[in-house]
């Protein structure tokens, strides 16, 4: 088991892990997740790279700072860990909301990014319909956060995967249930108001990778394909899975990420 490390930044505790040597790869988890989601990837990637994984604001063992955690704020706290470790150049891999945070970080530190992987994530903002869904989710969370989490987690998996990976679904649920109401609501509020970052796919020189699930219910497949078109230095890898490639196709998605890292 890797050692948990903690950084105090702006009176807020941030948990992170740091393992391996070489090219720095920063793994950023998604909504309702924590750095444990990356353990398999981290073990494999850290054989030839230095891997940093961070609990985002309100997730895992990192504190909350308010009732809205913007993607920019979350990126600021990831940046604080990298600055503390004196890391200047790195590759970003972000799952779902972690991709939004990675994009926010890439926007302010474009010269420090050696590569960007959107792992079941998008550069575009919430649609009006999605924003309404976020508002509905916030009401549900305030009423009964545990019921919301127990319902939300399985829906991220393709229907067949829920049975095939029932143990992993339960484990993901168990970790998510440790989150506070404040942490869940603040992340939903932050995702709801995030800005369009698609320009970063078109006007940044570093290599990019989009890992896409054909049956992802959290993201629009055609929308993902559309934003990848004409993007500069972009690779797209598509799999017949849902939103949770690190579980539903862990070896296949790990392979494409490792191949991508060699380009960075």
What local confidence, expressed as pLDDT, does residue 234 receive? 97
In this structure, what DSSP letter does residue 264 have? -
What local confidence, expressed as pLDDT, does residue 1 receive? 67
The set of long-range contacts for 159-164, using a CB threshold of 8 Å and a minimum separation of 24, is: 161/241, 161/242, 161/244, 161/247, 161/248
Distances (CA, A) of 209 to 65, 78, 153, 157: 31, 20, 25, 21
Distances (CA, A) of 57 to 98, 196, 238, 260: 11, 21, 30, 28
What local confidence, expressed as pLDDT, does residue 238 receive? 98
- For the chain (264 residues), the mean pLDDT of every run of 10, in chain order, is 92 98 98 98 98 98 97 98 98 98 97 98 97 98 97 97 97 97 98 98 96 97 94 96 98 98 96
CA 211 from chain centre, in angstroms, equals 12
CATH number of the 5-263 domain:
3.40.50.1820
Strand order in the sheet with 113-119: 5-9, 12-19, 49-54, 23-28, 90-95, 113-119, 208-213, 234-239
**pLDDT tens, 147-176?**
999 999 999 999 999 999 999 999 999 999
pTM passes above 0.75: yes
Sorted by where each begins, the domain ranges of the chain are 5-263
Whole-number Å distance between alpha carbons of 69 and 259: 33
In this structure, what DSSP letter does residue 218 have? S
What mean pLDDT, rounded, does the chain reach?
Answer: 97
- Specify the residue for token string 């393992």: 19
């Amino acid at each position: 088991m890797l050692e948990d490390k903690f950084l105090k930044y702006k009176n807020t505790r941030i948990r992170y892990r740091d393992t391996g040597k070489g090219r720095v790869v920063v793994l950023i988890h998604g909504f309702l997740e924590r750095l444990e989601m990356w353990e398999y990837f981290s073990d494999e990637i850290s054989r030839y790279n230095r891997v940093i994984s961070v609990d985002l604001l309100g997730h895992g063992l990192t504190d909350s700072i308010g009732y809205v955690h913007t993607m920019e704020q979350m990126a600021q706290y990831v940046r604080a860990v990298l600055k503390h470790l004196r890391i200047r150049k790195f590759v970003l891999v972000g799952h779902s909301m972690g991709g939004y945070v990675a994009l926010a970080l890439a926007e302010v530190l474009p010269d420090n990014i050696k590569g960007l992987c959107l792992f079941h994530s998008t550069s575009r903002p919430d649609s009006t319909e999605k924003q309404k869904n976020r508002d509905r989710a916030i009401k549900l969370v305030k009423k009964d956060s545990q019921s919301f989490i127990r319902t939300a987690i399985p829906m991220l998996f393709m229907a067949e995967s829920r049975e095939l990976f029932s143990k992993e679904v339960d484990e993901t649920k168990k970790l998510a249930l440790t989150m506070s109401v404040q942490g869940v609501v603040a992340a939903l509020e932050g995702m709801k108001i995030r800005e369009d970052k698609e320009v970063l796919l078109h006007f940044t020189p570093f290599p990019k990778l989009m890992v896409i699930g054909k049956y992802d219910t959290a993201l629009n497949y055609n929308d993902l394909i559309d934003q990848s078109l004409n993007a500069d230095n972009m690779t797209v890898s598509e799999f017949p899975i849902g939103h949770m490639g690190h579980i539903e196709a862990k070896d296949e998605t790990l392979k494409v990420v490792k191949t991508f890292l060699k380009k960075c």
